[in-house]
Amino acid sequence: MAPKKANELQIRSDKSQFAGWKFAGVISIFFAFIGLYVHQRLHHVPDLPEFDPDFWFGPGIKPKSVDESIRDFKIDISADILDDWKARLELPSRLRKPLEDVGFEYGFNTDYLSKVRKHWLENYSWGKEQEKLNKYPQFKTQINGMDIHFQRIKPSDFGRTVTNDKPVLPLLLLHGWPGSFVEFQKAIPLLMDTSDSPFDLELIIPSLPGYGFSDPASKPGLGDTEVAIVMNNLMTRLKFDKYYLQGGDWGAAITNIMSTLYPDRILGAHVNMAAVASGRNFLNWGLAAILPKSWFMDPEQVFMMFPMGEKLKTLMLEFGYMHLQSTKPDTVGLPPLESEVNYSLDDMLTNVMVYWVTNSITTSMRLYSESMNIRNLGYAIDEIPCHVPYGAAVFPHEIFMHPETFLADKFKNIVSYQVMPRGGHFAAFEEPELLSDHVKKFIGLVEESRVSAEKKNS
């Protein structure tokens, strides 16, 4: 080969190698910056968002003088509303027959729905259920422009005299969708039985804004973060400086938010839907799919997140309603009034009746669209560490649950995390004893630690 041609080939080779190294260098720098960005995003702690606690979601402009009275309330549904309900239920059914050999895979089984409808018409008594709901004291008070309905149950309602030997601890119980304050009724006497505890409880059980007997917002923007502020304002109205929290479904999300916004007021937070949607948890979930799962979670809790495909399929199937309600809540405000007939037990039918007689199915679903949006997600509450004492009762048939290590990404003081032997999403309905026992156990552990710390510092 001629020297000149060989030199040209060498020069081309050198240029090619240089271009290759240059490309590799650019790619390396690019991924280095991406890695740095991801690292910073995953380890960046957002600032705690600031809110005006006196925002107004009532009709019109906020008046100069706000009604702060606490009024007695009793459920008394008019005959006209009940006659309308019965007339609609008696209309000829146009339900399609379900496919053969299927249960509830395609939605609610219409054969079973017909049986529930028959029971609802022939055996169910709203009068008796209304009497049960009026058993414990109920009130209404205006918070942020909305009348908020709540039950307030004291030890004296169970014939007990308060003494200095047993402190009375406030416990705010928060429901979700499609639940209501009804779901806690079976748990009330169980929670109030503190004969084996060094404390008494005072229960506050509100209806969330737009649910049941609480007013809906008259203006857009009432997401779960704003509801958390409303609930804290309610406790302020009731003159509780510090209190405990318990919640499931939306109640769990609101509990997590309140614990983050008001750590100096929350004595302890307990949930029965244990999940934290932080970026780090999504990353860890993905990594656990390709790396040893024991690096990321207790082997006994792997079932909560894996098999990943099965879990994602379940979420997609079960959360279909969530997508619709997050985008067009008013569109589906009518059909659930029929589809909610899927509850067969009287207490579940009573829960449905609370939505019907208050015409609150549409307003309740707006919480999805007001919470699952850029504005609300931008608060990044799940990315902010929380040091409030935290407890989780994990029921095995819950739709969405996280192992303890995932919760610890946010909650740095997990006092009690327990996987229950049975039960699902509506824990207070399904397993009131299991839930109540764990709540009291959790509060007992927190109080023991708190009293011990006070003695040590005194």
Residues 6+ apart with CB under 8 A from 447: 167, 169, 198, 199
H or E stretch including 285?
Answer: helix 279-288
Closest CA to 158 of 183, 189, 128: 189
Class of residue 133 by CB neighbours under 10 A (exposed 0-12, middle 13-18, buried 19+): buried
Q: Which residue type, as a one-letter code, is found at position 321? A: Y
* CB-side neighbour CA atoms (13 Å) of 82: 12
The C-alpha atoms of residue 266 and residue 249 are separated, in whole angstroms, by: 19
- Please give the C-alpha separations between residue 449 and each of 87, 155, 167, 370, 435, in angstroms, as whole numbers: 57, 24, 15, 38, 21
The terminus-to-terminus CA distance of the chain in angstroms comes to 94
Active site residues: 249, 368, 425
Question: How do 168-174 and 146-153 pair as beta strands?
Answer: unpaired
DSSP bridge partners of 414: 390
Starting at the earlier edge strand, list the strands of the sheet with 200-206: 70-73, 138-143, 146-153, 200-206, 168-174, 243-247, 266-271, 390-394, 414-419
- Tracing tokens 């509801």 back to the chain, one arrives at 227
